[in-house]
Amino acid sequence: MSWILFYVLAALHPVAFMAIGWYSKTWGMRLLLWAMLPMPAVLYCWDYFEIKKDHERMCSSVGGLRVLVQPEKVDRVRLLGVEFRNLGAAQGVLNRHYPTIRVVESMRGVYDGTAGNENQYVAYTLVPNPAAGLPMPKDPWKEPRFIVEQSPIATLDPNVYEISHKELSTHRSATKETVLSRQGKTYARYTEIVHWWTGIRYPDAVPTWRCPDQRQAATATLPYDLLVKLILK
């Protein structure tokens, strides 16, 4: 329902209340109709409270960062799957945590929707930049201290911690789960939950609940980066 129509109908309730009082001939009829007056709105909005309650329950039980088993401190991690198939995620981890994290493994290439994608894993690390501090030829910045170096991985080591990501959507919710695991054992997970109610449709949004809500934070933290911090030495 459009938000304009919703509020127009809500504004008509006082009019209906007075009309019932004016035209009803007995107090019994007035009281009965007054009691029934809010019922359509209550029935229409009932799932609003149901969805809100489901969101609060899920948020308290699985929302946010949950450490199931404290992981070991290591200097290597694998970003598993096509969700991390780009240099940006791996380089971001290295830029934030090198040299505590020395190697980040992830798929090479850019996903293009075909069956012939490059699925090989590569190991990314940082090495000293021989041109560090010199002006860049086409940019107003200087060369960084480190540059990214990559090498192909022939066989994945099962002892490396893996970070994976999956999403699940329904008609009224979306769940994003980022998991830290090794050899099939889950050590920690970060779960983002969003619920929405479509009973009122604003021009650009619907009533929405988020968990955890990072909109109030000065800077949002990437879920996989929170899991990486658990294994920092």
**Pairing status of strand 173-182 against strand 161-169:** antiparallel
pLDDT bin (cut points 50, 70, 90) of residue 82 is confident
pLDDT band at 3 (very low <50, low <70, confident <90, very high): low
Question: 99: cis peptide before it, omega within 30°?
Answer: yes
Give me the long-range contacts of 196-201 (CB less than 8 A, separation at least 24): 196/51, 196/172, 197/47, 197/48, 197/51, 197/52, 197/172, 198/172, 199/1, 199/6, 199/44, 199/45, 199/47, 199/48, 200/1, 200/2, 200/3, 200/6, 201/1, 201/2, 201/3
Residue 42: the pLDDT is: 72
Mean pLDDT of the chain: 84
Nearest Cα residue to 196 out of 178, 167, 165, 175: 175
d(CA 4, CA 196): 19
CA atoms in the 13 A half-sphere facing the CB of 35 = 6
Of the pLDDT bands very low, low, confident and very high (cuts 50, 70, 90), residue 1 is: low
Bond from prior residue into 152 cis (ω within 30 degrees of 0): no
Per-residue confidence at 61, pLDDT binned at 50, 70, 90? very high
Task: Quote the pLDDT of residue 218.
Answer: 47
Q: What is the pLDDT of residues 112-156, one digit of tens each?
A: 555 445 578 999 999 988 877 788 777 777 888 888 899 999 899
185 has a pLDDT exceeding 90 = yes
Kindly state the tokens that stand for 194.
């969003």
Please report, for the chain, the start and end positions of each structural domain, with discontinuous segments joined by +: 3-37
pLDDT over 70 (residue 205)? no
pLDDT digits (tens, 9 = 90+) for 33-54: 778 877 777 777 778 888 999 9
Global pTM?
0.76
Model pLDDT, residue 113: 55
